[in-house]
Amino acid sequence: MDRRSFIRKAGASGVGAAAAAAALATPAIAQSNPKVTWRLASSFPKSLDTIYGGAEVFSKMLSEATDGNFQVQVFASGELVPGLQAADATTAGTVEACHTVAYYYWGKDPTWALGAAVPFSLNARGMNAWHYHGGGIDLFNEFLATQGLFGLPGGNTGVQMGGWFRKQINTVADLSGLKMRIGGFAGKVVQKLGVVPQQIAGGDIYPALEKGTIDAAEWVGPYDDEKLGFYKVAPYYYYPGWWEGGPTVHLMFNKAKYEELSPAYKSLVHTAAQAADANMLQKYDYLNPAAVKRLVAGGAKLAPFSQEIMAACFEKANEVYAEMESNNAPFKKIWESIKAFRKEHYLWAQVAEYNYDTFMMVQQRNGKL
């Protein structure tokens, strides 16, 4: 072989080797999975950055893990569909996914609410324990399958506040005739104590309180509530929101579209959803302390619901549960699972966690932290 022929052949071999090396360097996931582009409808406005941001965390993780092959475009409430129709749009295939709270749809069937939060249920840690290790995800997906959906936890706010009141509420008698912006399951419970539940969109709450059209309103917690300025017109800020001890925010997917995904993509969806779930609660835990201090400085008057009111609401909630269990088999199946774990969860919570937290709270109050 002459020198020129050798160089030509070596050059051709080099090009082939380079191409092979480039192919090997391409991430395996990019070679084995097609490009997927989904649209996700959020039930939340961008102004509620922490709860809305859960979907953005989910989308970002999927994109980064797949070199941009799996894209989920997030649309705020109202951009594609109204916020309270996000799950319906996902079922219909208008969008492939949504980020929402399941109790928004409880009017169609109260079973929806069990995947998120119901009165006097579990706190955030308890809900996550039940979902991930107590069979909750599978149980709730049995129900969601009847709606053409598959769902995964995608956030949690932690226990919410009990709302803003124009006047002090000390006894059960003070609830009689009270017009309160409170929806869904909780509205059904307090109605038994004389409260008149009102369904009002978030943007209309402030003027309704200011004009006296309503006497009270619940929203979320300090960080989100601060943005709406309720303390200016309804200064009494009560806690806890016993109807939302640990509300799970769900990522829901059109079941047929989810089933089309490869096993690798399904695994990534689960991983990204669980990361978004944890991130939201962590962010609220970090932001709420400073927000509640600002609210108090601005005139908010913090107060716990009296034990009389808490006990009466607990009793009425159990009456509502009994009614629902008697005529709704899917509701009964899931609620019995939650109740069984709730009993165990609050037994364990009384031991190390409660005593450690109580001691540290005393130190905080004594100015030692």
Residue 219 marked as a ligand binder: yes
Strand duo 196-198 + 236-239: pairing? unpaired
Region for residue 267 given its phi and psi (left: phi exceeds 0; alpha: psi -120 to 50; beta: otherwise): alpha
Residue owning tokens 């908010």? 300
- Cα-flanking dihedrals φ and ψ of residue 153, to 5°? -55, 135
Residue 353 marked as a ligand binder: no
Q: Strand runs (DSSP E) across 182-268, as ranges?
A: 196-198, 216-217, 236-239, 248-254
Listed residue (153, 149, 137) closest to 255, CA to CA: 149
Distance CA 103, CA 112 (A): 6
Helix H or strand E segment including 181: strand 179-181
Residue 218 marked as a ligand binder: yes
Beta-carbon neighbour count of residue 59 at 10 Å?
21
Helix H or strand E segment including 40: strand 36-42
Residue owning tokens 């399941």? 102
Distance CA 185, CA 103 (A): 8
107, 108, 113, 114 alpha-carbon torsion, rounded to 10°: 140
Q: Which residues, listed in sequence order, are joined to residue 252 by a DSSP beta bridge?
A: 98, 151
Residue 73 marked as a ligand binder: no
Distance CA 354, CA 346 (A): 10
Listed residue (196, 204, 164, 191) closest to 180, CA to CA: 196
Distance CA 44, CA 82 (A): 9
Q: Which residues contact 79 (CB under 8 A, 6 or more apart)?
A: 41
What sign does the CA torsion over 301, 214, 224, 277 have?
Answer: positive
Q: Specify binding-site residues for substrate.
A: 160, 181, 218, 244
Q: Specify binding-site residues for Na(+).
A: 219
Q: Specify binding-site residues.
A: 160, 181, 218-219, 244
